[in-house]
Structure 1
Amino acid sequence: MERTALPINWQQEALGFLSGLYAIKWEKDISHLYTQTAALILQYAHAEKISFIWQEDSLTATVLYSSDPKLQGDYAHAHDIDTLIGADVIRKDRNTKLYPGDGHTTIWIPASADDFHSVFALQISDKLDVNDPGFDIFLDHALLGLRSVVMLIRTYYAIDELGTRFNAILETVPQAIVFADDAGKRAWVNATAASLLAIPKQNNAPHIVAAAMQNLRTSAVNKGEIMQQSLDLFSKPDQVVRGWKWIFRTPALKVLSVDSSPTVSENVKGRLWVFTDVTAEYEAQEQLRLLNIELAEKRKIAEEQSEAKSSFLANMSHEIRTPLNGIIGMTSLLTETTLSSEQRDYTETIRTSGETLLSLINDILDFSKIEANKIELESVPFSIQDVLDNCVQLLSVKVREKGLKVGYKIDDDVPALVKGDGVRLKQIMLNLLSNAVKFTEKGEIAVLIRKLNSEKDEHHLQFIVKDTGIGIPEDKLHKLFSAFSQVDSSTTRKYGGTGLGLVICQRLVELMGGNITIQSRYGDGSDFIFDIRIGAVTNSEPLQLADNTATVQEMLDMPVPATLAILVAEDNEINQKLIKRMFDKIGLVSDLVKNGREAVEAVRNKKYDIVFMDVMMPEMDGLEATEKIISGNEGKHIPVIIAMTANALPGDRERTLEAGMKDYISKPFKLDDIREKVEKWSGILGDAHSRL
């Protein structure tokens, strides 16, 4: 039977279709969008059926929507529609697999956007003339409209995919994340945040989220601080916060680090909150803070104890050295008088006992200074041979008494002058030689000095002290360099000593960049071997003869008076008597004052050449008195001021020189010490000796 076509105004239908599309393009639900689009094309194309097919991959295609419920969700082989989807033109077929049977035509309208491939399939009744040019024009307009819809669908799919990925990320991170807009219309929390806020994950109602956030703030231990900072934060919408600490005890400690930043999306302003559990880090930091406080307190106590120890040592040094000064000084004067052999023996015993006690005190003070790291080495030119000669001379009496031989050999390549602390090197050598003399009953003691190597500014020297003494058992060697330790108790009873000498030597050698070792066998003597690194002396560096800050030129420029005017400032009556007698022995007249204030007054009223100034005196100490004498005589004659002190701690000498004193003499002192200072600063010792 012949087909009857219905008269249709396809131009009007195309206009109606495009107008309808414009209205539904604002639909943001993807399924609603393609469902309404399919219904619209079904209506204006006067089709009997409509299907929207999406190619998932190269093998599978899915009917996302069909007006025929039986086709909804069906899968088809992608290659069946592959040529249709990839085509740029509309295709008309009869008897297709999608719509089998006679009496209709299938119109394929390909609509793809980037990687989203799809096709709309219309079933047209034979009552319509599918070859009508007007129908073709309608299909061309429909093609453009459907492609624009598919572009939207593809965009929404991409957004939905990104949203899914983003949500998956937010749900798996350990942080609790909360978003709330400023208008109170939108809110979102991830699962961790829902647990933290104690709200159902599926319930993101803004008012519920806001109430839960408020409850969280007010349950914190530091809620006052949080509420105040929250007010500041909400008054400044653009403010970003990092590392804000919210502390809870429910009942266990929980600390959240809170970050908050403003967000703007599609003209929706809001704030993103990120909560990170930092309880472990907070507890560790708190423990570290408490530990630091404890350490600071212990350090303070240790410093106070060290200061108390230093103060005690200073007082002990002063209190013991002051009477020792009288004992040793008076003994030295007594030995220069006419004495019987018995009296001289008694006097020598007193002198030896006093010097032994002084040696013990010096060892204890040196050890304390070393333990406190308060020893600083000097760096001045000196002669190694002079150091050895001085040591041998000091030990000569004991050496003669025991009938020993003492000698030394310095290799030819050892420089005559070196730069370092000659006083401390003398202390090391004197200690080792004293031990050698003490523990050697017969035979000899030898000192060997050789150069190991040299650099531009430094020499590496080795010292060996050999003796033929009693030696040391191998199993006792480890005790030698331990504080307050002797090889055995019988050694202390027989030979005496504190057991500090070798410890002090070891520490001093280490300060000089070297090491000390011992080679010994019981009964065969001992070899003490140490090396030091010491500075080289350039040709332009003269040997310093004076152990003070005054220059040689300063001493040469001093006028040499025919007779010296000497002032002694000393508060101790025994020491006053001692030093007065010493000056009498030298043949010099001295005036005595008993404190710093009287010394200042005396210098103001009389011109003195040398002032021997005790450092520790009542009313005004020697340092203050020195400063007043110097400041009160600017542009006038200023006497040479020599410090007398019973202190022996770090900084004592430096403080006297800083005050303006020119030299330093340590108590207890002997007649020769006073004579040496007078000779050094006056140059008239020859006249003094002629009057002895």
Structure 2
Amino acid sequence: MQERGINDTFKKLIHESSEMVFLADDTFPYSIFYSNRSFEEQIGANLTDRSLVGLGLNISVFGLAEEIELSYCGDDYEFQAEFPQDSSSNYFLFYKGKKRITHNLPTREKFQQLLIESPDAQLVLNPEGDIFLSNVEALKLFGYDRESSIGHMIELEGLFNGSQQWKQWIGAAVSDLAIHRFSSILSKSFGNPLDLEIASKQLVVDGVQYVMLSFQDVSEKVALKKNLEDNSNFLMNLTTQIPGALYQLVLDGEGKMSFSFLSKGIAGVLGLKPEEIENITDISGVISQVHPKDLPQLIMSSVTSARRLEPWQCQFRVKSESTDDEYRWILGTARPQAIENGDMVWYGYLTDITGQKEFEATLDDSRKAAEKSSQIKSDFLSMISHELRTPLNAISASTYSLLHGDPLDHQKAELDTINFAVDNLIIMINDLLDFQKIEAGKLTIEKAPFHLSYFIKQIIKGLSFHAKDSKNKLEVMLSDGLDIMVLGDKTRLSQVLNNLITNALKFTNAGEVKLSVNLLEKRNGRVRIYFEVCDNGIGIAPEYQEKIFNDFDQVRPAFSTKYGGTGLGLSITRKLLNLMGGEIALQSALNKGSRFFFELEFDIVEMKLEKQVNNNGDSGQSSSIHLLMAEDNDVNALVLGKIINKWGFTYERVLNGREAVNAVSHRDFDCILMDIQMPEMDGFDATVAIKKISEAPVIALTASAKPEIIDRLEECDFDGFVAKPIDASELQTIIKEVVFEKNQSV
């Protein structure tokens, strides 16, 4: 064959031939550039290196032989070969290739070919331990490179833990034809020791006895097994040591509930003996230990958990191991899981909570004792308040009546002093009661409409005498936009401003006190208002500026004797503002004055201004107002009667609630002034009865400030409330408001 080109007909014949044909270059590595179908089907499909070198052919060995033998993948082939004879031939031709059929036993070369493809490290040895063959994986395993001789270079002596182990492997294989398996550790000098599994088997070749050893690295498997064993031991130790019991409970399709797992801790939880645990297979053994009163809850909660597939939790009592009459508290928790066969499985935990329950009982006793102590304190303060308010009411009302009876100048000064002293006493009593209500969480912030600028002016007007008495100038600065109706608690806001302004006047002598109120923002039906009380009095040192807001705290003890007070005013002011959504701040310097300021938000109310003005001023109907006074105390009734007469109102008096109900059933009244604590029928019951037969507004008058009293006022549908000692101006304003509301609704 002189040319590489072959005509199509001849090429087709060669390609379809059943004999193998292929051509290779005449230069190293002798790449195969043509092969027919038969060659591809038998050899080429598995040939990764398409060259004579890849086939394992050494051209220098074969020389110019016309017939060659080829071994590949365990099979032997024979070809006719034609080699280049001159420079015009630049390829090798191999043809008439076919697979050799031989029944001869493997030779050394065939052993090598078989072993080289094995993924496991393998050796073939004679019974004396001399290595006959080794594959590439064996060379790698024992630390030799691929080019090493595969003969006696590998020495087994000293490679394994127990230097003579390999003799046992050979001896076992020689003894019979079975496969024998061993394990050992390979002590590698070039890396970490390896865990090996070894298989040995006898081979007989050409009548000669050999042994095949196969090595498999199982280090990862051994490490995983050890890790699993460690984890298993840890979990078993955990289930034993935890102060409770782990369990697995199965509910099968027939409704039987049985334990598939119970940790040893169940003995301590249920008070069982170790030998009794093994006898607990179904739930009946546990049920028998449960307190009869807790059984329904235990069963129903389990059923609900199964039906909804929700976590289960239940507290129940079980018998104590010491006696059947004593029980211990157990907390049970579990999570249910539905499995494919229809069973329900709970994985849960039981623990003894007897100590916790005893602690809770102790806490409950302490709570009840604290509540009782608080109630005693509340009752004491309310009693003292009532006892103080009753004579103060008489003093305050008498002073008010005398001041409006054209007294002489020297008498007026003395009456002003009495009135100022009474006001201070009332403030201190109110502070104590407000503090009590705030601490008990009973004080609530109301939301009622009031006219903002008018309200502020009334505050200043009410404190004008105090300013004059302390020789101070009291001013108010209002920004534009405050002529509006807002929703808020004007009583508590009045208390805050009165506290701040009264303090400013108290600690300022012949100076100035200014109340500034500014509209900061108005949008979406709400307004944000800035309030500031500023004075040029004695000021507060920096180290005391936070302290003054503490309960019962003042700058220093000497203040209580010089300036008076309970030390609660600013504390209550801060708490009231917090309840209203504001926060008070302070800037002050010694001998320069103080500035207290805060911001509040209000909802705007769309109401006619005329209505509010009429509520707070003379409506033209004042002289025609006819009142019913229900008051059992003669002194209080006499003083209150004088005040009513000075307003130009008329009134009738009754001595108890029953007489009040009878009077309302026979005559009409514009308003009823109802004392709460009266004989025969108190003010609450009387008001409930009156509301069924009359639309006349009822105003409560009481010296008691118990939270439950205030709550009942709302329940009984009173239209207003004035605390004793009665502030005559406040009472007159409320009377006009409720009467006006009644007339508007008619």
- Please give the TM-score of this superposition, normalised by the length of structure 1: 0.59
Aligned residue in 2 for 1:641: 698
Partner Cα distance (1:226, 1:320) in 2? 56
SS at match of 1:395: helix
**Which residue number corresponds to residue 48 of structure 1?**
none
Deviations 1:186-224 (A, max 9, x none): xxx999979999xxxxxxxxxxx988835999xx99985
Equivalent residue number for residue 432 of structure 1? 500
Distance 1:191 1:328 in 2: 79
Output one character per residue of 1:296-337: Cα deviation in whole Å (capped at 9) or x when no partner.
Answer: 333333333333333333333322212211111122222333
1:371 aligned residue:
439
2:720 alignment partner, one of 663, 671, 675: 663
Matched, 1:537 2:584: no
Which position in structure 2 is the counterpart of 1:139? none
Separation of aligned partners in 1, 2:331 and 2:419? 76
Separation in structure 2 between the aligned mates of residue 673 and residue 426 of structure 1, nearest angstrom: 12
Partner Cα distance (1:348, 1:195) in 2: 81
C-alpha displacement of 1:600: 1.8
The answer to whether residue 670 in structure 2 is matched with residue 613 in structure 1 is no
Are the aligned partners of 2:449 and 2:487 in contact in 1 as well (CA < 8 Å)? Answer: yes
Instruction: Give the superposition deviation at 1:624.
Output: 0.7
**Partner SS state of residue 450, structure 1:** strand
Check the 8 A contact 1:569/1:593 in 2, yes or no: yes
Tell me: CA distance 1:461–1:56, structure 2 relative to 1, closer, same or farther (3 Å): same
Separation in 2, partners of 1:72, 1:669: 115
Partner residue in 2 for 1:494:
562
Match of 1:27 in 2: none
Deviation, structure 1 residue 505: 1.3
Distance 1:521 1:630, change over 3 A: closer
- Judged with a 3 Å threshold, the aligned counterparts in structure 2 of structure 1 residues 604 and 437 are, in CA distance, closer, same or farther, namely same
Q: Distance in 2 between matches of 1:673 and 1:215?
A: 78
Does 2:564 correspond to 1:503? no
Letter in 2 for 1:660: D
Q: CA deviation at 1:486?
A: 1.7
- Checking the alignment, whether the CA contact within 8 Å between 1:171 and 1:192 is kept in structure 2 is no
Q: Is the 8 A contact 1:582 1:674 kept in 2?
A: no
Pairing 1:95–2:160 present: no
Q: Give, in whole Å, the separation in 1 of the partners of 2:370 and 2:392.
A: 32
Query: 1:519 maps to which residue?
Result: 587
CA contact (8 A) 1:63 1:71 kept: no
RMSD: 5.4
Once residues 672 and 254 of structure 1 are traced to their aligned partners in structure 2, the CA distance between those partners, rounded to angstroms, is: 63
Give distance in 1, aligned partners of 2:735 and 2:470.
35
Q: How many residues align?
A: 498
Quote the offset at 1:514 in angstroms. Answer: 2.4
> Per the alignment, in what secondary structure is the counterpart of residue 590 of structure 1?
strand
Cα pair distance change 1:662/1:173, threshold 3 Å: closer
* Inter-CA distance 679–378: structure 2 relative to 1 (3 Å threshold): closer
Q: Is 1:597–1:619's contact at 8 Å kept on the other side of the alignment?
A: yes
The amino acid of 2:628's aligned partner reads: L
1:405-424 map, 5 Å: 405-412=473-480, 416-424=484-492
Match of 1:575 in 2: 636
Is 2:698–2:720's contact at 8 Å kept on the other side of the alignment?
Answer: yes
Q: Given that residues 382 and 544 in structure 1 are in contact (C-alpha distance below 8 angstroms), is that contact kept between their aligned partners in structure 2?
A: no
Deviation at 1:588, TM superposition (A): 4.5
| Alignment counterpart, residue 546 of structure 2, candidates 471, 475, 478 | 478
Whole-Å separation in 2 of the counterparts to 1:364 and 1:491: 18
C-alpha displacement of 1:373 = 2.4
User: Does the CA contact (< 8 Å) of 2:628 and 2:652 recur in 1?
Assistant: yes
Moved more, 563-572 or 388-397: 563-572
Correspondence for 2:278: 213
Tell me the equivalent position of 2:130: none
- Listed one character per residue, the Cα deviations across residues 564-583 of structure 1 (whole Å, up to 9, x for unaligned) are 55322112221122223333
Task: Quote the offset at 1:382 in angstroms.
Answer: 3.1
1:490 partner amino acid? A
**Partners of 2:264 and 2:567 in 1: CA distance:** 71
Q: 2:247·2:263 contact (CA, 8 Å) conserved in 1?
A: no
Structure 2: distance between partners of 1:427 and 1:484: 18
Structure 2: distance between partners of 1:498 and 1:317: 15
Report the CA distance between 1:408 and its aligned residue: 2.6
Change (3 A) 1:430 1:544: farther
Distance in 2, matches of 1:329 and 1:211, equals 83
CA deviation after TM superposition for structure 1 residue 665, in Å: 2.5
The within-5 A match list for 1:159-170 is none
> 1:348/1:464 Cα in 2 relative to 1: closer, same or farther (>3 Å)?
closer
Q: Structure 1 counterpart of 2:600, which letter?
A: R
- For 1:258 and 1:420, the matched residues in 2 are separated by 49
The structure-2 alpha-carbon separation of the partners of 1:247 and 1:472, relative to structure 1 and needing over 3 Å to count, comes to: same
Aligned to 1:135: none
Give the drift of 1:526. Answer: 1.4
2:291–2:318 contact (8 Å) kept in structure 1:
yes
Matches within 5 A, 1:181-580: 213=278, 282=351, 285-337=353-405, 339-412=407-480, 416-528=484-596, 530-537=597-604, 540-542=606-608, 565-580=626-641
| Partner SS for 2:595 | strand
Normalized per residue, the structure richer in helix is 1
Mapped contact 1:326–1:578 kept (Cα < 8 A) = yes
- AA aligned to 1:573 is D
Matches within 5 A, 1:126-165: none
- Residue by residue over 1:123-153, the C-alpha shift from the partner in whole angstroms, topping out at 9 and shown as x without a partner, is xxxxxxxxxxxxxxxxxxxxxxxxxxxxxxx
Q: CA deviation at 1:668?
A: 1.6
**Runs of at least 5 residues in structure 1 that lack an aligned partner in the other structure:** 1-54, 85-91, 100-162, 180-188, 198-208, 234-239, 262-271, 684-692
CA deviations over 1:434-458 (Å, ceiling 9, x no partner) = 1111111123222333344455354
TM-score of the superposed pair, with normalisation by structure 2: 0.55
CA distance in 2, matches of 1:311, 1:381: 33
SS in 2 for 1:469: coil
